[in-house]
Amino acid sequence: MLVLEFIRSVVLGIVEGITEWLPISSTGHLILVNEFINNKNSFTASDLYLYVIQLGAILAVVTLYFRKLNPFALSKTAEEKTETWQMWFKVIVACLPAAVIGLLLNDYMDKLENWKVVSATLIIYGILFIIVEKYIKGDKIKSMDALTYKTAVLIGLFQVLSIVPGTSRSGATILGAIILGCSRGVAAEFSFFLAIPVMFGVSFIKIVTYDGTLTGANIAVLLVGMVVAYIVSVMSIKFLVGYVKKHDFTAFGWYRIALGIVVILCGLIHLI
């Protein structure tokens, strides 16, 4: 059984690494994968595992953007250090709505982790991505420095929507940022940075409120998933950064709609 758990952890780590940064809902995909493989009562199906594994993905952002995120970098000028601090203040301000509202609704939202909610959010946000890309051109804010605190707070309010399973944290923040005038590159990058405090906070809450027994074997299984998620996330982030330079997010919108329809069909015939 332990070997099977390690195999599940590798699979889920790959899914997490791919879907955390693409606007297609990592939590939704993890829930669906566990449903398809009938993984319901093991440690890898627990909320603790499904959320804490995301720390591996977060470390990929820290690694790839370490210099940009580090306000103490010796290679930075005084002006660059100030800009880095301002960026972090914007990230913190943007995280406040999710921190407050997410904490209040945490227990309630866990009850919405089912195929009906996930399929609905996949389709709804898929349609929104297609509409936004067709009618809204986010090109007023082309750099992180041009992002105001007001815009950061508004993006943070969009992030609150991601507490509903299947929404996608990156999807909600990227969609909101584009609507508010951010270029796709700025929207994606700010979404990456927002994930750092949010995911660390969510993981801390899940660890503190976990009512099961965290054994050494469970920790080993979790670490394997985190390492796999980290490796795959590095590739996913690089892919998305390169992708948005030449393409929009319409393809992800169609993917969400298609996946949502598949989930509905599977739900109706009781496959999940």
Q: What is the pLDDT of residues 203-216, one digit of tens each?
A: 888 888 888 778 99
Residue of 133 and 115 predicted with greater confidence: 133
Q: Mean pLDDT, the chain, as a whole number? A: 89
Condensed to tens digits (0 to 9), the pLDDT of residues 37-56 reads: 888 888 998 888 988 998 99
pLDDT band at 272 (very low <50, low <70, confident <90, very high): low
Contact in structure between 137 and 179 (CB atoms under 8 Å): no
pLDDT the model gives residue 209: 81
Mean pLDDT for the stretch of residues 8-12: 94
Could you give the 3-state DSSP secondary structure of residue 212? coil
Please give the share of the chain, as a percent, with pLDDT higher than 90: 59
- List the domain boundaries for the chain: 2-268
pLDDT the model gives residue 88: 96
By CB atoms closer than 10 A (0-12, 13-18, 19+), residue 169 is buried
Query: CA-to-CA distance for 4 and 41, rounded, in angstroms?
Result: 13
Query: CA-to-CA distance for 25 and 20, rounded, in angstroms?
Result: 7
Condensed to tens digits (0 to 9), the pLDDT of residues 61-119 reads: 999 999 999 999 999 999 999 999 999 999 999 999 988 887 777 667 667 778 888 89
Residue of 50 and 220 predicted with greater confidence: 220
Could you give the 3-state DSSP secondary structure of residue 210? coil
Token pair in block for residue 259 = 């996946």
pLDDT the model gives residue 27: 75
Residue of 59 and 271 predicted with greater confidence: 59
**By mean pLDDT, which of 164-168, 217-221, 228-232, 257-261 is the weakest?**
164-168
